[in-house]
Homo-oligomer: A and B are copies of this chain.
Amino acid sequence: MRLLITGGAGFIGARLVRSLLAQGQLAGKPIGEIVIADQFAPPADLAQHPKVKALTGPLLAQCEGFSKTSFDGVFHLASAVSGECEADFDLGLRSNLDSTRALLDALRHGGHGPRVVFSSSIAVYGPDPAHPLPAVVDDDTLPCPQTSYGTHKLMCELMVADYTRKGYIDGRSARLMTVSVRPGKPNGAASSFFSGIIREPLAGVEAVCPVDAQVGHPVSSPGKTIEGLIRVFEAEREAYQGRSAMNLAGINITVAEMLAALEEVAGPKVRARVRFERDENIARIVDNWPKAAHSPRAARLGLKSDASYADIIRQYIADCRASGLADTALKGLS
């Protein structure tokens, strides 16, 4: 089968491509080609892989060409992040709404009705005076997004459902929990610190936490996130249940608990590299996000959350070692 992964050069995208190449098949069918569409070139291991074809450039400009290619499956991960969308309203509309619309239209005009997984976000949820957020959001919670990013994600979920209803695609939307621990550098997402406060201390670098230690949030490891995307792709329609978006699994944790887990795994010296300095912009965005989530639909698909946050940190450390990055990424451990 031929797959398209938008945002396939990003952290989650590249990791998904590696998982797919490693398993060699998807939904029981051998994978012949993976097309990565991303504004950046993919990492070298993927760029050089014989089964990978990389298309580099803005997604919006690439979409017309997609209608001429027969894709069997699509993972649509490309997205501007929350902070970028708040800073540049037009960029958000273009990158998240217009690009998704163009992608869906290209797949529709392609006429092959490919299976499509759209990566949505827990950021669709937010409190509104008429609809306060419950203590724990679940698949039934009414989403009232409080950022442009969350707004566009929810609008795209609705398009995916309607293009699916019409038979143009076989789409399903999976709402990702905040992914932690992301490697690399901080990005423009307001949630970036949920990785930074673990990653930087492990690298021996001081980290600033912009919100209070009591802030709670549902998070998921990269591995569990990718497992969720693949499971949602492979699910039969009946098992997925209808066409509305579903939440992936996550663990509900506070910043204080994350730091306690860091100390448990890496010791008090590493933990001490995190200091608190409130950033009102970020704190305001995060304050409007769910404090915890429960994901009964994901559970029915057999998706489990990570066992513990300490486990997530240990996975991150193992990943750094496996990819030869220990010298810098884990410098703070020695």
When A151-B158, A158-B154, A162-B151 are in contact, do A244 and B131 touch as well, CB less than 8 Å? yes
A89 interface hit (Cβ, 8 Å) = yes
A241 interface hit (Cβ, 8 Å) = yes
A142 interface hit (Cβ, 8 Å) = yes
* Cβ-defined contact, A242 with B131, below 8 A: yes
A80 interface hit (Cβ, 8 Å) = no
Q: Give A157 Cβ to nearest chain B Cβ, in Å.
A: 10
* Cβ-defined contact, B142 with A151, below 8 A: no
* Cβ-defined contact, A130 with B162, below 8 A: no
When A130-B139, A130-B297, A131-B244 are in contact, do A161 and B151 touch as well, CB less than 8 Å? yes
CA distance A146 to B139 in the complex (A): 18
CA distance A141 to B130 in the complex (A): 12
A208 interface hit (Cβ, 8 Å) = no
Residues in B whose Cβ lies below 8 Å from that of A142: 140-142, 244
The chain B residue with its CB closest to the CB of A85 is: B162
Q: Which of A136-194 contact B (CB under 8 A)?
A: 139-142, 144-146, 148, 151, 154-155, 158-159, 161-162, 165-166
| Additional pairs, 20, CB under 8 Å, beyond known A130-B244, A142-B142 | A93-B101, A128-B241, A128-B242, A128-B244, A129-B238, A129-B241, A130-B139, A130-B241, A130-B246, A130-B297, A131-B140, A131-B242, A140-B142, A142-B244, A145-B161, A146-B165, A148-B162, A151-B158, A151-B161, A155-B159
